[in-house]
């Protein structure tokens, strides 16, 4: 048994050394896991998510049950105006226990490109539209259990648009100097993942961070 444990440890070390180049391709990672699926037991299907227990063969040869939450993904906008201010929502989130600050964002509708999603959400929530858009990349929000990929975009050359928030959205729109938002992202005062990553990537693009 001890010899087997040593072999597993060695395999884990090899995998750890190999993983970084793989992780850099995060949005493509799902292609790698599909051939490993042995069985899937559906547990729950809601308005947004699906939950299943997947039996999976891992790269080290182990077969394990994994609890997986499937999400269609989302898109978020880092909208920066002519005064170098970024649009943030002070939004009520029950799961977070109250109000937090977030970028305008929303989930992808079926077969919807993320650039369409983000334009819609910026207008509906931020009450602005952008003439210029640039991708800031994507990331997995919590890859241990969650398939959600969030796509980030920098939006500039802003003009006013009609705000059309959904009935269950409770938020106020604020505009912060980008430098202040960067400082609060670094200090931990901002706690939403997409907002922290989006602001820091946008600031890097703008040569601020």
Residue of 169, 172, 174, 189 marked catalytic = 169
Please state, in angstroms and rounded to a whole number, the distance separating the CA atoms of residues 129 and 62: 49
- Whether 115 is a known active-site residue: answer no
Q: Which residues, at least 6 apart from 114, have a Cβ–Cβ distance to it below 8 Å?
A: 73, 74, 75, 108, 138, 151, 153
Backbone angles phi, psi at 188, to 5 degrees: 95, 0
Q: Is the dihedral of CA 58, 35, 50, 123 positive or negative?
A: positive
Please identify every residue annotated as catalytic: 169
């Amino acid at each position: 048994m001890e010899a087997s444990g040593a072999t597993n440890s060695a395999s884990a070390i090899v995998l750890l050394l190999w993983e970084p180049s793989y992780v850099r391709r995060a949005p493509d990672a799902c292609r790698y896991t599909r051939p490993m699926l042995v069985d899937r037991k559906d547990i729950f299907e809601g308005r947004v998510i699906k939950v299943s227990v997947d039996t999976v063969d891992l790269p080290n040869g182990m077969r394990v049950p994994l609890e997986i939450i499937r999400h269609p993904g989302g898109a978020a906008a880092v909208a920066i105006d002519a005064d170098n201010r970024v649009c943030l929502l002070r939004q009520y989130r029950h799961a977070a226990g109250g109000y937090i600050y977030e970028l305008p964002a929303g989930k992808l509708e079926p077969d919807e490109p993320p650039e369409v999603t983000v334009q819609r959400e910026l207008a509906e929530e931020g009450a602005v539209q952008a003439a210029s858009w640039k991708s800031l990349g994507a990331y997995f929000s919590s890859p241990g259990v969650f398939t959600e990929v969030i796509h980030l975009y920098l939006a500039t050359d802003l003009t006013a648009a009609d705000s059309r928030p959904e009935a269950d959205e409770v938020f106020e729109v604020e505009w912060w100097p980008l430098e202040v938002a960067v400082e609060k992202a670094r200090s931990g005062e901002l706690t939403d993942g997409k907002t922290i990553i989006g602001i820091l990537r946008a600031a890097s693009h703008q040569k601020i961070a």
